[in-house]
Structures are given as structure tokens and as C-alpha cells.
Structure 1
């Protein structure tokens, strides 16, 4: 079977799930290619897969920060270079216009041109990439979704309007269901309980997240004192690009941790050496540019996170309660769901002070219910079928 997978040209959209699924399908004997922007195509080829390079595919980061893209997307003022520090979630209008109307349209045009020569039997696209959805509808072939962002605002009038605009451009009939791209086959790495009831679909397939390649924990972290609770703090890899106030936020986090009876590890960013850190340096906080997050999480008592889906998934997989400080995209939705499930607390970035963060973290450490709920979701994840079973399921769907 000839299968094409598609992903936005962003590392976090491509590498954690799309590439593992592509490898599973290839290993099952199928002819597999991954279509994405030229910016990240090397990750596809480094994984031993064939890349379909789409020259006009843009990322959300480019829409937000590249002067050449000025006027293409709807980017809130607080996400531009002169922004202040406040939470900017994936509003339906911004999500629909950018991911469908701009990014999806450009992606689909390139993809349809490339697929004109060789028609696939199935297109599998990640949930924020709509060019693959449109190409499948144009070609009249099955499509499936890898849900890398369960809290994205799919079920909205704004999404429906942009989907119909996308379809009208290629003479497809109008639809009345904004969840049309998800209806056929939606694959998820979180159990059904993670989804609010209104977002649960009959097309849903849930799988256990793939195990990452084993990493050796930094020996300096392993040697940190073990007489107090261990806390990890990380705001992810995309925050420096989107929020100019990230250093100030990190300083607040480090300062709050320094005032608490904990041992902490704070990831300050791959481009920022600890020796150049101008913020506070409390004795109980280990500063590092990068941390082996999935390796360390099972050994910590609480996690201060930006609420990105990959970090949320890893934390639930380790049964670790969270203090979520969302900033942009789907992070506010993930943070809200963490709090609704009782697996931690949410603080909006504009509300973070040393005092508010200390209070939230102390509650997460002191109240057993947060860890109990995180462990409950962890057990549900452990009961899911392993990801390799997705290969047979996708083939059955396409057949």
C-alpha cells in the first residue's frame, strides 16, 4: 500500500508521532513517504524515510515572526516582537484562519502538485495539518488523523467556515460538520478520559505512546540531594521564539523554587548557557540548558510546565502532577484539562509571581489527590494498545 503522511514543518508536529508511525508502516512493508516543509525535511531523511519536500509550506512560527510573512496570518499583538507577557491561546478564529486558511491552503497546493504523478492509497495527517485532508478529499482516497493536539478548537463555526473556503477553492461541495477531518479515523496517544465529553468520537483509536530512545540522565542531576522533593521546571523549546518575556518568566520560576524546601532542575533553554544566566542562582536549583525530560520525569515529585502536549503526555505517562503555566497555542486547553482532571493546577502566565507559584507548587506537593489523579491517568495510558498496532488498524481503515 502506498501511504503518505503529512505534518506541519515544525519539529514538535513531526518528530514525536508522525515519524514513529511512518516507520511502523514502512516496517510493515508499505511504500511510505512523509510530506512536510523543506525546513524540517532533514528529520524525515535522518529517520530513514523518504521526504516529500514542499517548498511553500510555512510554519506557525514563520507567520508569527518572519517579516516576509507579514499580513498572511492572524497573529495577536501579544505574540509579536513588542509583546507583553500574557497568555495567548489558540482561539477558534486564529486557529482556523492560520492553520486552515493560510497554512493548509499553501500545503495542499504543493502536496496536490507532487501527488499528481503518484496517487497514494491513504493519507495520514497530523491534526493541525489540513493540506493532507484536502488532498485526500480531492483524490477521493481515505484519510486518517494523528491527534497531536487534542485541545485544539476543532469543533467551532470558525473552523467550519475555513474548511468550506478550502474546499470551495478546489470545487468540493460545502459541508456542515467542522469535525469532518477527524471523523474517519482519529489516532490519539491519550486515553479517552483526557478528552472532554463533547470531543469524544466514534472514530477514535487510542494507543500507548512510543518509548523514546533510552537516554542517560546527566550525572550532575543524578547526584543532586535526595533529602527533599524533586521538582522539574521547563517551558519547552518553542517559547523563546514566541514570547520575548520568557527569560523574565524563568527568573520568576527559579526565584520561587529557591524559596522552597525542594531540590529543583530548571531547563533555561538550549541557547542559554548557565554561565551566562543573569537571573537568580539559588543553591537548591540546578540550571541546565537542556534536560532529558522523559528520562527524569519518573524520578520527580512535581513538574512546572508550559502545558505543551508532548510535555503533558510525558508527565501523565510518568504519573507526575503538574503546575501548568500556559502561554500560547493549545497550551491553555491542556492546562485547563490538567486542572479539570485534578492532576495539577493552572496559572496563567500573567498571574505568575514568586508567591503565586510557590503556593501552587506547594499545594501540588502537599495534596495527595494531585499525584493520585496523575497516576490514574498513567494507569489508563498503560492499558492502551501499543502504538505498533496502528499499522494494521490504518491498513484496515484504508481497505
Structure 2
């Protein structure tokens, strides 16, 4: 059996797709190790993977609402890596893995794979890089618009590579395909899907909605969430104004950065929580107002729920545009969001038969993609025969 190192950022959207895969590989008898802080370790624990503990540096939340903010967020990822990479290397001293599986923003993966000369699989929790889509081009444009941040990034990046004896890498290398790539979408949803070759496994979401885990308070049901990173109390206040008194129940998941009490007294048909069991709620939902993060989008498609997308980052905009192009939902630009537009967008989706038909077809593609089982098969197929 093999020793597999899984690596991810400490954000739910990056970590969650990997957890069912790690659990499946552990159940098949492999040893899976996972560098993690305390928050991650709590979520990784049930998979049976071993934790390589590290202490993260304190971080300040950054709302990615401009090119400058995106550049500062990218620099923050590098600063965190500078802090935790020595701890990760210490954790693997004398215990090198046979293969690394890393999220596309967990740069420790490609760095250590290059240093240790190990095979590596990239986990694309957003859209995968290919001929028709290259997130690295956005990164280049982002830094071109934020010159002072780029200089600081380049200096620190070179220092980290030198300090750890890592072969020469460029930032753009992290956004290129690896020797093999796991993509958590069905091929039919991915942008420019005709351009991808057999280096990619389009396995779809690795966890699916579970209706038995949550009981809906009323139907029709609308779920509202901007994910775990984006903090927008003003957006949720607009939702309260938009949906108060409407003939459906609204569940708002406001995230760790918003106290539901900030929203004031809520109408009888609206409730707000910092967290809800999203896949379980989606199993009952009739519409979803979402930031169009890839995990959230796939969970909604697996449940055939139409979406009003309010994307805040470039990859979310790509996903939102894809939803609109395939007729699976509608898109609102964050700066144009008003209570009236939110209300009209949700009304337009509820009960729309053509959207429902397209959603059912995409739901079939999502469920046929294979999920965690197919991902584990693909990983095992890339191990030396004696380690499978």
C-alpha cells in the first residue's frame, strides 16, 4: 500500500472535495497524511488520515473586490506558505510520501514534489487549467495592475525557493496542469471541455446532497450563501428586504464573518445562520442564491437546483457565466445587486420548466461522473503496481 500526502488550503471550498477521496483511499488500505492546522484537523479526522500538524500565522480577511485586493490575497497565500512550509517539511522528515495530491492553491504540493522528485496530482477545486482556460493569465494581469505588491511577492517567492532548496519555479507554474489532474465537475459543465486530454479526470463533486440529514421548515425553499470566505452583511440585508413576505421560506448561511444578529429582527419567512449543512439543505431547495463557488455550484447541480449567481472572484465569474450559458441559472453583478433585482431573479427561476429540464440533464451528468470512487481509482492507477 502507498503513502499519499494530501495538501490543501484551510478553506472549506478547497478542502472539502479532498476529504471523501482521502477517506476512500484510507478504507482501501493506503496511508494518507494531511498537513493541517487545528481547524482543518477537526474536519480531516473522520477520514482516518494522519495529521501533520502545523501552526498557521494569523491572517487578516481580505474581500477580493478589486485587482489590488486579489494581488494582496495572493501575497497572503505566499506569506502563509512561508510560515508553514518549514513545519510541513519537518513533519515529513524521514517519512517521504510516494505521491502528492494537492489543491491548486496549496503551493507546498508542487514545491515539495519538485524538491523530492515525486509524482503529483493536482486537485482543481475551481476550473482546471487547459488550452481554453488559464487562470495564470488573470494572475499576470492582476500583478501588472498592482506593481508594488508584485515586487514584494517576487522577492518573498525567490527567498522561499532558495531557503528550501526548491528547483526554479514561477508563479504561473502553479496554475498549469500537473502530470494528472482531478476536476470536480462533469466534463459537460467545464468551459472549453473539448480541449482536455486524458491527463484530466472529470469526477464531479465528491459529496452529494443527503435529504435525510435536514428537515425543511417550509416549501418552497430558497437557500442564500456566499460561501465561507466572502463577508457581506450588506448583501444579506438586501436579501432580507428582497424576500420579506414572499411566498417561500428563505435560509441564509451568512458565514463566519457575519453575526446573524447584525441583520436585525428577521421576518417570519427568513432565518439566518453562520453555517448550515449545505448539501442537505440543497436536497430540499427550490432556488439557490450563491457566489458560484465550484463546490456550491456542483452541490446545487447534483440536486438540480436553479441558481442566481452573484460572483465575487474571477473563477466564480467563469462559473456564473457557464451557468448562464447552459441555461441553468442567472447572474447578478455584485455591484448591481438590489433587493428588487434579487427578488425578480428568484421569481424568474422558481417554477421555470425549461430551466428544470436542463438541470435534470446536468444532474444526470454530475451523478454519472463518479465522484470520490472514481477519483480514488484514478490516483491508484498512477501508483507503481506494487503500491496499489
Normalising TM by the smaller chain, what interval?
0.7 to 0.9
Q: For residue 281 of structure 1, what is the aligned residue in structure 2?
A: 266
Report the Cα distance in structure 2 between the residues aligned to 1:196 and 1:270, rounded to whole angstroms.
31
- Among 101, 105, 108, the alignment partner of 1:124 is 101
Partner of 2:350: helix, strand, or coil? Answer: helix
Report the Cα distance in structure 1 between the residues aligned to 2:304 and 2:211, rounded to whole angstroms.
19
8 Å contact 2:107–2:174 — kept in the other structure? no
- Among 230, 235, 248, the alignment partner of 1:249 is 235
Alignment size in residue pairs? 364
Which digits, 9 at most, give the CA deviation of each residue in 1:292-339, with x for residues without a partner?
A: 321232332211112222211111111111011223474333323322
Q: For residue 22 of structure 1, what is the aligned residue in structure 2?
A: 22
Q: For residue 35 of structure 1, what is the aligned residue in structure 2?
A: 35
Q: For residue 310 of structure 1, what is the aligned residue in structure 2?
A: 295
CA RMSD of aligned residues (A): 3.5
Report the Cα distance in structure 1 between the residues aligned to 2:166 and 2:315, rounded to whole angstroms.
31
**Residue 27 (structure 1) shift:** 1.5
Cα distance change of structure 1 residues 273 and 111 upon mapping to structure 2, 3 Å threshold: closer
**TM-score, normalised by the number of residues in structure 1:** 0.77
Report the Cα distance in structure 2 between the residues aligned to 1:283 and 1:296, rounded to whole angstroms.
18
Q: Show structure 1 runs of 5+ residues with no match.
A: 66-74, 80-85
Cα distance change of structure 1 residues 52 and 95 upon mapping to structure 2, 3 Å threshold: same
Report the Cα distance in structure 1 between the residues aligned to 2:88 and 2:255, rounded to whole angstroms.
34
Q: Show structure 2 runs of 5+ residues with no match.
A: 144-149
Report the Cα distance in structure 2 between the residues aligned to 1:63 and 1:96, rounded to whole angstroms.
12
In the TM superposition, 1:145-224 aligns within 5 A as 145-150=122-127, 154-156=135-137, 158=139, 165=158, 170=165, 172-173=167-168, 178=173, 182-197=177-192, 200-202=195-197, 203-211=199-207, 214=210, 216=212, 218-219=214-215, 221-222=216-217, 224=218
8 Å contact 1:128–1:149 — kept in the other structure? no
Report the Cα distance in structure 2 between the residues aligned to 1:200 and 1:87, rounded to whole angstroms.
31
Partner of 2:96: helix, strand, or coil? Answer: coil
8 Å contact 2:182–2:200 — kept in the other structure? yes
Report the Cα distance in structure 2 between the residues aligned to 1:174 and 1:272, rounded to whole angstroms.
38
Partner of 2:330: helix, strand, or coil? Answer: strand
8 Å contact 1:322–1:344 — kept in the other structure? yes
Cα distance change of structure 1 residues 126 and 371 upon mapping to structure 2, 3 Å threshold: same
8 Å contact 1:108–1:130 — kept in the other structure? no
**Residue 350 (structure 1) shift:** 1.8
Report the Cα distance in structure 2 between the residues aligned to 1:175 and 1:277, rounded to whole angstroms.
43
**TM-score, normalised by the number of residues in structure 2:** 0.79
1:262 equivalenced with 2:243 (yes/no) = no
